[in-house]
Amino acid sequence: MAVPMSPADETMRRAFAESYRKEEEAAAFYELAARVEQDPKRKEILKKLELIEREHARVWATKLKEMGAGSPRFEGLSQLANEMSSEEIYRKLDEIEQSNAKWYESLRQLVPEGEIRELIEQIDEDESNHDATIRRFFTMSTEHLAESLQRILGRETWHKRASTGWLGDAIYGVNDGLGAIFGIIAGVAGYTANSHTVLVSGFFGAVASTLSMGAGAWLATRSENELHHSEIEHERREIKEDPALEREELSLLYQLKGFTQAEAEEITERLAVDEDQFTKAMIQEELGFQEDAKGNPWTSAAVGSLSTFIGGVLPLIPFLFLSGVPGMVAAAIVSILAHFAVGAAKSIVTARSWWASGLEMTAAGIIVGIVSYGIGVLGTTLIHV
């Protein structure tokens, strides 16, 4: 006669059974995705991911047997699942992975410190590693392979920053200063005809924007450096704790780039001989930046502050020589032309044409000016009612 389980053991049994079910469901959908996938490289990677999920399910099945709970069951996929399109299957896989991540996060709170907690963390880490580098790739269309791979690795942002450096930061600083101060002076001009008030308001607005931008740039660069350092150290720990898994991950990343499995494994094994080189490769391919790619917070603060101040004072220049309506008209013309110039300059750090970027920026500036002026007029009207 079987001994009844305690309430705590019964809770753990249910948790293990649910973990098994979730892993088997994920494996079944990866198997289904591999069955309908036409691209040989994707099919191969999907099969590997299926095997990983099967291994996770086997772990939970073993734990259930150790408890004397008997063999777990998974009913398999319904006929409806077999009729899903490839796009629907990949979307379902994404939902499953998100659900599993939340499940393991909740399970951590249930399980005390010890072997099972470590097991959960290891499985969850396996899931997140593959999710971060591969799984989102399968939600993209085949014709956008190169573009989607760049997005997965986070390299678009890194390449943009590495190639433009301080120039990109300066352009965006001028953009922010110009838009903010033009909005301020347009609103104040709508509220009062006193040109001196408009000039003073705009000037102190430019000063405030300059200080705010400088502080923000300093904090953002410092935080980014700290985040990069944390991610690098985490990657180093993963390589030391489970080098085989990291080698498999790097190999899959190279296969996504177009290398054959044999080529990717050969490159990976050569890199793995030197732990430092292997770490640098993992950081580059998985995290999307180089180990020594650190920004200088003070340089970012200086460039951000100066460029914002320049952008902020441009609309104020006409008020040094003109007043009243002529001053506001001249300020509007200068601001609109400056908006176009800054928008055109933004094409240096984006993929858009200079004229399209310039016209878009000009339209945004005109809208800001009209809306701000209208609010100023409305304000003075309400006061005199």
Q: How many CB atoms lie within 10 A of CB 329?
A: 12
What's the Cα-to-Cα distance from 72 to each of 18, 54, 69, 152, 240, rounded to whole Å?
A: 10, 13, 8, 36, 34
What was the pLDDT predicted at 63?
85
**Mean predicted confidence (pLDDT) in 147-158:** 37
- Window from 120-124, 169-173, 176-180 with minimum mean pLDDT: 120-124
- pLDDT: which is higher, 141 or 156: 141
Mean pLDDT of the chain: 79
* CB contact at 8 A, 100 and 27: no
Question: Which fold would CATH assign to domain 7-70+83-139?
Answer: Ferritin (1.20.1260)
Could you state, in order of their start, the residue ranges of all structural domains in the chain? Answer: 7-70+83-139, 157-225+296-383, 230-287
* CB contact at 8 A, 45 and 255: yes
pLDDT reading at 142 higher than 50: no
Amino acid code (one letter) for 303: V
What was the pLDDT predicted at 133?
44
Handedness of CA 116, 117, 120, 123 (dihedral sign): negative
Please report the beta strands in 234-315, taking only residues with DSSP state E, as ranges in sequence order. none
**Euclidean distance between CA atoms 310 and 332, whole angstroms:** 16
- Window from 90-99, 109-118, 215-224 with minimum mean pLDDT: 109-118
Can you state the angle between helices 86-110 and 7-36, rounded to 10 degrees? Answer: 160
Q: Which two tokens stand for residue 27?
A: 């494996």
How far from the centroid of its chain's Cα atoms is residue 299's Cα? 24
Q: Which two tokens stand for residue 336?
A: 């609109």
**Mean predicted confidence (pLDDT) in 141-152:** 39
pLDDT reading at 258 higher than 50: yes
Residue 77's region, left for phi above 0, alpha for psi from -120 to 50, else beta, is beta
- Window from 12-21, 201-210, 212-221 with minimum mean pLDDT: 12-21
What was the pLDDT predicted at 125?
65
